[in-house]
A and B are shown apart, each in its own frame.
Chain A
Amino acid sequence: MLARVTTFAIDGLEPRRVTVEVDLRAGLPSFTIVGLADRAVREARERVRAAVLNSGFEFPLKRLTVNLAPAALRKAGPGFDLAIACGVLAAAGRLPAEALERIAVFGELSLGGEVRPVRGVLAIAEGTARAGLVGLVVPREHAPEAALVDGLQVLGAGGLGEVAALLSGEAAPAPVPPAAAPPAHELGATVDLADVRGHASVLGALTIAAAGGHNLLLSGPPGVGKTMLARRLPSILPPLGRAEALEVTRIHSVAGLMPRGLATDRPFRAPHHTISPSGLVGGGSSPLPGEVSLAHNGVLFLDELSEFPRPCLEALRQPLEDGRVAIVRGQRTAVYPTRFMLVAATNPCPCGHAPARRCRCTESDLARHRRRLSGPLLDRLDLVVHVQRPRAADLARAAVSTSAAERDRVLAARERQVARLRGTPASCNAQMDAALLRRAVDLAPGAEAPLRQAYERGELSARGRDRAVRVARTIADLDGADRVARRHVVTALGYRHEAAPGEEAAA
C-alpha cells in the first residue's frame, strides 16, 4: 500500500515542495528512509516509530520504505517527522488517504507523540498557498505565524493523535488564535528618546541617519551611552510596512527565532565582536541567515567596531553594497536579503578618553587605532558622530526630544525621498548610487563650492564627496527644501571623517 504526503524543505528562504512517499508491503519488518536525507531526517525513524506507538496506534510490522522526493534535493532538519508519521498511518489504513491529498504537513515529533516547533513555518505556509494546496498542518505554536498567509486553512496541532483525529474528521479544527501582540518587554516597545538626557548633538545626527537610511559611526569614550542611543534608533525609523514585516518574520522564522505572529518592530541586532564571519553574514553546511539578514529592514549595531576581526569586517562589504548576501556551499546557494542600517560604535582611541586630557595614548597608538578602523568599511559609514559625556546640568533637565517628535520629522523627509526616487531602485537617499546621485540631486548655485574646496585641500575623496552629497540631500529633505543649498552641504561636511591631525603633508 502506498501513501503520499506533501511537505516542504527550506532552501535559503525558499520553500521547496517535497513529497513523502510511504510504501508498506509484506516482508521482514524494516523501516528505511531514502532520498538524500541528512542525519536529523534519518533519525526520524526512531522518533516516528515511538510517536506512533505512544499515540495509541500500532506500528505496522511490515517492510516500510519512505522516499523523500525529489531525491536530488538535500533535506535537513527534523521538520519531516510529522509528514512521515502521517504517511505511515495512511499507508497502514489508519488515516483516509484523500484527507492528505490537498494539504501539507510540517512539524517535528517527540517520542511521546507531541508535535514540536520547527523553523521556517511562514515560508512554508507561503509555499503551500503557492502550490495550490488548501490546508497546512503545523505545530500549534506556529498556527498564528502560518495564518499570516491569506486563503490557507491552518490546522494547529499539539500531538500526533490530534492530527489523526482532525484529518479523519473525528474532531473539528480549533480556530487559530489571532496573532498575540508581542509582550511589552520586547525592545523597541519600551525604549524611547524621551529616556535620553542631554546628547542633543547625537539626536540630531540620529534623525539625519534615520531620515536618509545612512550608516552611522558613533565615536566616544566608554560608558557615555553609545549603545543606549543606538538602541533607540529603531524607534524613530518609519514603521514596518506589511511586506517588510513579512520579510522580517520569514527570515526570523527560518533562523529559528520563533516569531509570535507578524513582526511589529524593526529588528535591532547587536552581535558581540567575538562573532565569526559566518555568524555575521550567514553560513553553515546547511546555510542559515546571519546577523546581517536578521537585521534586514532594521538596524545592525556593531559595538567596539575596532575589536571585530578583519575577516568579519571584510565579509560585511557585499551585504552593505548589494543589499543581499549569497552563501555558496558545494551543492547549493542560499540568498538572504540584507538591507539594514549599520550603526557602529568605537572608542576614539585605545584608552577611550580622547580628546580629554586624561588620554595618554601616543601618536602611534592613535595611528594604529585609525588603521584598524580604516579601509573599505569606514568608506561606507556616511556620518561620524562624536558622543561626549553629557553635562551634569543636562542630566537633571528634561529630555530634549521624544521618539514621536523625531519620527514625524523622519517620516516627512522619507515621503519627499519616495516621491523623488519613484521609478528608481533606491527607496531612500543612502541607496542612491553615484549615477543616480548626479541625476536626482539638484545642487543650488554655490552649494558646489565647499565640496570643491574640501576636495582640493585633500580633505575629501571622490567617494567621500558622493557621501557628503547624499547626506546633504537628506539634510535638505529634513529642511523641506527641494534643492540642496550651501548650508546643507556644509553641514554634511561637518559629519565627515576627520583627517589625521598634523599628518596631511606627510601622508
Chain B
Amino acid sequence: MSTPAEASPRPDGRAGTGAGVASDHRACGPCLRRTWLLGRLAGRLEVARHEAPVQAGGRLRELLALPDARLLDALAGLDRTAIERERAALDVGALRAACDRAGLGVVCRHGPGYPARLRDLDDAPAVVHVRAVAPGRLSALAGGTLRDGPRAVAVVGTRRASADALEVARCLGRGLAAAGVTVVSGMALGVDSAAHAGALEAGGRTVAVLAGGADVPYPASKRALHRRVAELGCVVSELPPGLRPHRWAFPARNRLIAALAHMTVVVEAAERSGSLITAEFAADLGREVGAVPGPVMAWRSAGTNALLRDGATLVRDARDVLDAVLGVEDGRPAAQSPSAPRRPALEPRLQRLLDAVDGGRDTVGALARHPAEVAEIVAGLSELELLGALRRVAGGRYVRRAGP
C-alpha cells in the first residue's frame, strides 16, 4: 500500500470535555483547521474540479491531496488573505464545540480511533466525523487496518434501481451483517438505502458515508434511515457539521467508501453511474471489486455487466461475497443460487405458480385466463408471499425474495 500522506506522528489533540452522545474528541487542531478549510472552500472546489477535467475524480483527488497552503494557492484566489486571516483567527475549541452541538464525534488521522485503512488513500481525510449513539462505534465496525480490523464490504449501486436490484441489495446487506461483516454504503436512494436497510434488519453492522455533514440527513427523505443507522451503526463524513453536500463531494465520499471496505460490490449500475467511480477507486486501492450480473439487454445493468467483463468477482448472494472476503471455508453451507427452491415441500399448485413467476408471468394479469381462476391465483401468490418465497413490488409484480 502507498505511504500515508502525512504519517508523522503528532501530539494528540486535547481530550474532549463535551458531553455529546458520542463525542470522543481526539482530533488535533491542525486537522480540524484543515476540515474547516475544506468547508470554507467547498464552493470553489466545485468550480476547480472542472477546470482541467481528467478522468473521474482525477483533478479532484489531486486537489484533496494538497497540503493546506497549496490548496489555498490553488483555490483561494483574490480572497486568499481574507481566508488566511479567518483561518488564523479560528478557535479550535469553537470548532470542537460545533461538532458537540451537532452530536458528532471527531477522530483525526493523528489520533487513535481513526480507521487506519483510510490511510491507504493519497488524499486521506484529515478528520472523520462520526454520528453514533456510542463512542468507538466506527472502530468497532470498520476501524484498524485491513489486516487486523473488522471486515467490511461496500454495497453500492444506482439510485434508480429496479425492484430486483433493491431486493438483491437488501439481501446482501442482511446476509453480510448477519455474518458479522460491516456493510458500508452511501445512504443514497435506491441500492445504497436498501443495503443499509438490510443490514439494519440483521442487527445493524453498517456504516453510512455522507457527502455532506454527518449530522445532515441526505437525501432528506432518508431522515428515518439516517436516525436508525446512527442508532445501530454509524454515519460518518469528512466534512464539517451542517454542510450541505456539493457535487464534488459525492465522488470524494465514494473514495472513503472504497477505502473503508475490503471489497466493493456494485449491485446495479448503468453505464455512467456514480457507483462505477466507487468501483474504480476500490480497484486503484487494490481492493476486491464485485458486481451483480444483470440481463445483457438491460440498460440498467450495463455498468455492472461491464465490470464483470473486466474481471470483477461475480456476486449472486451474500455467500459469494463472504467467499471472496473471508476465503472459502469448510463448514459453511454450500452456496445456493437464489432461484433454487428453498422449501422442497411446496404444494404442487404453489410450485407451478412459482415456476410461472420465474418464467416471467409475474402478475395476476399474466397468470389468469378466466375470472373464475383469479381468486385461486391471487390466493396462491399471496400464500407464497406469506411463505417468504415472493415479494410484491410496485405495479402488482411479484419478484423472488432473495436470500435467507
The smallest beta-carbon distance between B380 and chain A, in angstroms, is 8
Q: Which residues from 336 to 377 on chain A have a C-beta closer than 8 Å to any C-beta of chain B? A: 348-349, 354-355, 357, 360-364, 366-367
Assess whether B379 is interfacial by the CB under 8 Å rule: yes
Contact present for A494 and B382 (CB under 8 Å): yes
Contact present for B221 and A406 (CB under 8 Å): no
Contact present for A388 and B394 (CB under 8 Å): no
Contact present for A204 and B375 (CB under 8 Å): yes
Contact present for A498 and B363 (CB under 8 Å): no
Contact present for A491 and B371 (CB under 8 Å): no
A-chain residues with CB within 8 Å of residue B159 when the two chains form the complex: 362-363
A and B contact pairs by CB, cutoff 8 A, 30 listed: A200-B369, A200-B370, A203-B374, A204-B378, A355-B394, A355-B395, A355-B397, A361-B160, A362-B159, A363-B161, A363-B189, A391-B366, A400-B370, A401-B371, A406-B371, A450-B383, A454-B386, A487-B379, A490-B386, A491-B376, A494-B382, A494-B385, A495-B378, A499-B392, A501-B163, A502-B167, A502-B197, A503-B197, A504-B197, A506-B197
- Which listed residue, B365, B375, B379, B393, touches A501 by the CB 8 Å rule? B393
Assess whether B60 is interfacial by the CB under 8 Å rule: no
Contact present for A491 and B396 (CB under 8 Å): no
A391 to B360, CA, bound (A): 14
Contact present for A505 and B201 (CB under 8 Å): yes
Contact present for A357 and B189 (CB under 8 Å): no
From B46-54, B82-90, B124-132, B222-230, give the one contacting chain A.
B222-230
Per-residue CB contact flags for chain B residues 296-329 toward chain A (1 = under 8 Å, else 0) read 0010000000000000000000000000000000
The smallest beta-carbon distance between B365 and chain A, in angstroms, is 4
Contact present for A475 and B393 (CB under 8 Å): no
A203 to B377, CA, bound (A): 13
Contact present for B200 and A201 (CB under 8 Å): no
Assess whether B33 is interfacial by the CB under 8 Å rule: no
B-chain residues with CB within 8 Å of residue A361 when the two chains form the complex: 160
The smallest beta-carbon distance between A266 and chain B, in angstroms, is 20
Assess whether A199 is interfacial by the CB under 8 Å rule: yes
Interface residues of chain B: helix, strand, loop or mixed (majority): helix
Residue on A nearest B365 in the bound complex, by CB: A388
Assess whether A219 is interfacial by the CB under 8 Å rule: yes
Whether A363 touches B386, Cβ cut-off 8 Å, given contacts A386-B396, A505-B201, is: no
Per-residue CB contact flags for chain B residues 167-198 toward chain A (1 = under 8 Å, else 0) read 10110000000000000000001100110111
- Which listed residue, A364, A387, A478, touches B221 by the CB 8 Å rule? A364
Q: Which residues from 402 to 420 on chain A have a C-beta closer than 8 Å to any C-beta of chain B? A: 406
A-chain residues with CB within 8 Å of residue B107 when the two chains form the complex: none
Assess whether B263 is interfacial by the CB under 8 Å rule: no
Assess whether B75 is interfacial by the CB under 8 Å rule: no
The smallest beta-carbon distance between B167 and chain A, in angstroms, is 7
Q: Which residues from 127 to 178 on chain B have a C-beta closer than 8 Å to any C-beta of chain A? A: 159-161, 163, 166-167, 169-170
5 further A-B contacts with Cβ under 8 Å, apart from A487-B376, A493-B385, are A349-B394, A355-B394, A388-B366, A491-B378, A506-B200
A349 to B163, CA, bound (A): 14
Contact present for B369 and A400 (CB under 8 Å): yes
- B194, B197, B224, B378: which has the most chain A beta carbons within 10 Å? B378
Residue on A nearest B165 in the bound complex, by CB: A502
B-chain residues with CB within 8 Å of residue A385 when the two chains form the complex: 396
Contact present for B365 and A493 (CB under 8 Å): no
A203 to B190, CA, bound (A): 35
Assess whether B37 is interfacial by the CB under 8 Å rule: no
A199 to B366, CA, bound (A): 9
Assess whether B43 is interfacial by the CB under 8 Å rule: no
B-chain residues with CB within 8 Å of residue A401 when the two chains form the complex: 370-371
The smallest beta-carbon distance between B191 and chain A, in angstroms, is 9
Assess whether A378 is interfacial by the CB under 8 Å rule: no
Assess whether B219 is interfacial by the CB under 8 Å rule: yes
The smallest beta-carbon distance between B20 and chain A, in angstroms, is 25
Contact present for B225 and A506 (CB under 8 Å): yes
Assess whether B364 is interfacial by the CB under 8 Å rule: yes
A361 to B201, CA, bound (A): 27
Assess whether B72 is interfacial by the CB under 8 Å rule: no
A506 to B173, CA, bound (A): 13
A-chain residues with CB within 8 Å of residue B370 when the two chains form the complex: 200, 400-401
